[in-house]
Each structure stands twice: as C-alpha cells, then as structure tokens.
Amino acid sequence: MSVGLAEMRALAGRLYAAAVTAADPALAVRRHFERHPDPGVAGHSTLIAVGKAAPAMLAEAREHVRGPVTALAVTHEGNETTVPGARVLTASHPVPSESGLQAGREILALLDAAGAADRVLALISGGGSALIPAPRAPLTLADKQAVNRLLLASGLDITAMNLVRQQLSELKGGGFLRHAAPAPVTGLILSDVIGNELGAVASGPTSPPLGTRQDALALLTRHGLLEQLPAAVRTLLETPETAAPLPAAENHLIGSNEQSLQAMRDAVAAGWTARIVSDRLVGDVADAAAEIVRAAREAPADRPTALIFGGETTVTLRGTGKGGRNQELALRVAEAMRDWSGDWTFLSGGTDGRDGPTDAAGGLVDGGTMARIAAAGQDVQALLANNDSHAALAAAGDLLLTGATGTNVADVQVMLLN
C-alpha cells in the first residue's frame, strides 16, 4: 500500500488526537463515579483540583458530589475558564509565581478548616507541582523558584525532581493529608508520570513522600547540585526531620499514559501494522532518539508500520535557545533519519499541548525536514548545541501547535514508516 507524505502527516496528527481524547479528564472522573457512586458525607465536602486538567476534573466532579460543597481549581495560565459553583485560579508553570503562592495559601486555609465530619476530594493532574508553591518556613518563593530552575535545567527525571520538591513544601508529599486531618481525603489522580508512581504526580499532595531529606541531600550531592542551592534550602535539608506519622488517604488512578498509547494503536488506519514499542521512553533525548531510530531500522520493510512510544524524556540545557523535550526529540530523530531511503513521519508531543516555555506541543517531522531547515538558512547542529529546537522546527514548518488540551498524561510519540 502506497501512502503519500501528506497522508502520513495527517495520520500522525490523528493518532496524537486519539491519545489526548483517551486522557480526557472529565471522562476519567465520570468513569470513576460510575464505579464508585458518591456516598455523601455528614458534614461539608471540599473539592480541590490542581494541575493542567483541574477545571475539567472539577466540573465533572461537581456533577456527582452530594451535599454542601466548596470547590477550588488551580490550573496553568492560558487555561482560563469557569466552573459553575467553583473558583478557578491560574498560576505559572513550570516555574512557580506569586499567583501560585496565593493559590497555595488558599488551599492550606481550606484544608486546615476541615473537620472530622467533613471530607476532602483532591483532583490531581500533571503540572500541579509548580502551580501551588507553599514554602516550608523559613523558605521564600524566591528560594522555591531558584530550586525549580535548577532542577529543570539539571536533566533529572520527574521523580527525582519531585523527591527534592517535596522536602521544601507544606502541600507536596502528603501535605493535603497532614493539613486536612482529621478529615478523610480521597484523591482522583490523572497520571503524567511514567510507571504511575502516585507520589510523583504533582509531587504527591495526597501520597506519602518519595523519600526523606537525607535522600534529597544524597541525590543533589550525587548530581553536583547541592552547592548551587540557596543557603536557606541547604540548611532546611540538613536539619533533622521530626515529622508525625502521615494520615492514610484513598487514592484512585483514573488515567495514564498507557491508556493513551493503547488508543493510538487502536486508531491506526487499516492496512497499517501498529505496535507499542515502549511505554518507558525516558532519559536524555539523544538516547531516546537513538532508541526510536533503532526500532525503525528493525521494523518490517514490506508494509506500512506505526511504531508507538510513550514516556517523558529529559533535556540537559547547555545553550540559551528555546524549545522543549518533544521538540528536541523530534529534531534529533529528523537528523538521524536524514539518509533514510523510504518515506517516514515522526511526531513527538506533550499530551497537555505544551512543550517547555513555548507555544508548541512538540514537533512533526519527516524526510524533508532537514532540507527545509537548510533552505531557511539555519544550521541544525548549531541550533541543537544551543537547545534551540523551536527555531529549527519553526524554520521547517514542523512545530506541533495544538494549544492547551486541558489534560496531561506525559508525552506520546509515533513513527510512521512506508
């Protein structure tokens, strides 16, 4: 079966859309309440939604929770919306801001007001970690911002970053449980973390910490980051912990990257062979690109093939350019595939519609990408060295531009070979 390049690019876009649809936060919440109808509560229900999918999750939950309710959502700037019967606040991501600090204070006040006859329903999705900074005394917002910038540029994976963040926050690493006690807490979690470690999603506000201060110190020392921390942060991490036992929570995983990959596989057009190669595409983007190209070289050459991947790679910043892990991954794949003899198309995108501090969700490249970049007078090697994948893909017309999707289950990739 012969398939044109335009058709392959369109198919890649449809598969990405299928992944996003499968992670629809309202449907995920609805499915949960269909399985677990709300029993009601003697007192008051406090609904707190945090993350990129917060408004949609909260709107759906409001349809199912009975009795008197207070409802608050905190989501990222650019996702401004309204939810009937609730307040919606926005804050910056991925570096926390003053607006996020105020949102964190509002959440703390709601949690601290809960009593034994009340209950807290936490609706958690990816991106929540940066949205609600609540620095542990004596840390300041500036301290948290400095730590976040350092971690984002370090190349550490999301679990390692959240291990550190949890030690510095009143809300992360089970903070909802500590502050809401004695009220019971239920968490509905849309996971953007590969492997679905609940303590790593939004830094685990309803889950036990991923480790201790000593663990965070060891991690930072091992990666040569400790001396780059603000002095107040180092002092806090070096202070022995005296934490009380953490109250229990009832957590439910309601959506994940794996579900989106399965939806992509099911949406592949008739006549194509499709398989999920990996749902653990992690680590440095250069290594991930090599893994994808290796899978392409090993794929059958006698029929159209869709190779599907999911995960969350990392970029170690060495330059001053603009981009994100999906854009750089797409550009590196295009570079490695430049001598491929057949037609191919590759898409890498964040299911949230955002990739780094840019307007793009990722990249959609093909066998002509490198030539288009060169024709625009750009040097791919220089742009990669400067972490400027956005400029390279913009020159080729290969940015994946979707706008905010309202959900987040990490990243998805598809390689189409014909």
Q: Is the pLDDT of residue 245 over 90?
A: no
Q: For domain 38-255, which architecture applies?
A: 3-Layer(aba) Sandwich (3.40)
Query: How confident is the model over 399-406, as a mean pLDDT?
Result: 92
Q: Percent of the chain scored above 70 by pLDDT?
A: 100
Q: What is the pLDDT of residues 142-182, one digit of tens each?
A: 999 999 999 988 988 888 999 999 999 999 999 999 999 99
Q: How many helices (H) and strands (E) does the chain have?
A: 16, 12
List Cα–Cα distances, 28 to 74, 111, 183, 403, in angstroms: 18, 25, 25, 21
What pLDDT is attached to residue 304? 95
pTM equals: 0.80
CA distance 141 to 150: 14
73 contact partners, CB below 8 Å, separation of at least 6:
48, 49, 50, 54, 55, 57, 58, 83, 86, 87, 88, 89, 123
What pLDDT is attached to residue 1? 53
What pLDDT is attached to residue 2? 62
- In the chain, CATH 3.40.50.10180 sits at 38-255
CA distance 112 to 335: 53
Size (the chain), residues: 418
CA distance 391 to 214: 41
Cβ 409 vs Cβ 306: under 8 Å: no
Cβ 120 vs Cβ 155: under 8 Å: no
Characterize the bridge pairing of strands 411-417 and 305-314. antiparallel
Which has the closest alpha carbon to 169: 213, 125, 221?
213
Instruction: Tell me the pLDDT of the chain averaged across its residues.
Output: 94
Which has the closest alpha carbon to 81: 408, 406, 409?
406
Q: What is the pLDDT of residues 17-62, one digit of tens each?
A: 999 999 999 999 999 999 999 989 999 999 999 998 999 999 999 9
- In the chain, CATH 3.40.1480.10 sits at 5-21+258-417
Q: For domain 5-21+258-417, which architecture applies?
A: 3-Layer(aba) Sandwich (3.40)
257 contact partners, CB below 8 Å, separation of at least 6:
191, 192, 194, 279, 310, 311, 351, 409, 410, 411, 412
Q: What is the pLDDT of residues 58-102, one digit of tens each?
A: 999 999 999 999 999 999 898 889 999 999 999 998 889 999 999
Place of tokens 């060891």: 218
What pLDDT is attached to residue 336? 97
What pLDDT is attached to residue 194? 86
